[in-house]
Copies of this chain bind each other. A is one copy, B any other.
Amino acid sequence: MEFNNSQPIYLQIADLFCENILQKKWIEEGKIPSIRDIAVQLEVNPNTVLRTYNFLQDNDIIYNKRGIGYFVTTDGYLKTQTLKKDQFFNQNLPEFFKTIDMLEISIDDIMNFYTKFKQK
């Protein structure tokens, strides 16, 4: 898998995982793949995957059963949504509005762009 350069790989992997949870590909209390499996699959170092797992564990999205593996927490879906929404409303959105103001872009422009985006 290819990663872009603007964000650490381990966070890009975290984003992948969040998508999996939000799309219900990974269900709550379900086991997720082992660190090694993910490392092989994404062609990264196991340590990098471990960092992703630690990050998500710190956010109560996954947890560890010793010697067995990692599992999505009972309210993993909600926690994921909260994490992402927080990021979105507190960081992305304010920057977003500031930018469109500064550039004098109208909401209509955005809408048109969105329509095109959805068609793809």
A interface vs B, CB < 8 Å? 5-6, 9, 18-19, 22-23, 45, 58, 66-67, 81, 84-85, 88-89, 91-97, 99-100, 102-103, 105, 107, 110-111, 113-114, 117-118
Q: What's the nearest-Cβ distance from chain B to residue A96, in Å?
A: 6
Query: Which residue of B is nearest A91, CB measured?
Result: B6
Contact yes or no, A88 B117, CB < 8 A: no
Contact yes or no, B84 A99, CB < 8 A: yes
| CA A51 to CA B91, docked complex, whole Å | 24
New A-B contacts (5) at CB < 8 Å, excluding given A88-B100, A107-B111: A45-B67, A85-B105, A88-B105, A96-B96, A97-B114
Q: What's the nearest-Cβ distance from chain B to residue A21, in Å?
A: 10
| CA A107 to CA B107, docked complex, whole Å | 11
Return the contact of A22 from the options B19, B81, B103, B118 (Cβ within 8 A): B103
Contact yes or no, A103 B81, CB < 8 A: yes
Point out the residues of chain B lying under 8 angstroms from A18, CB to CB. 102
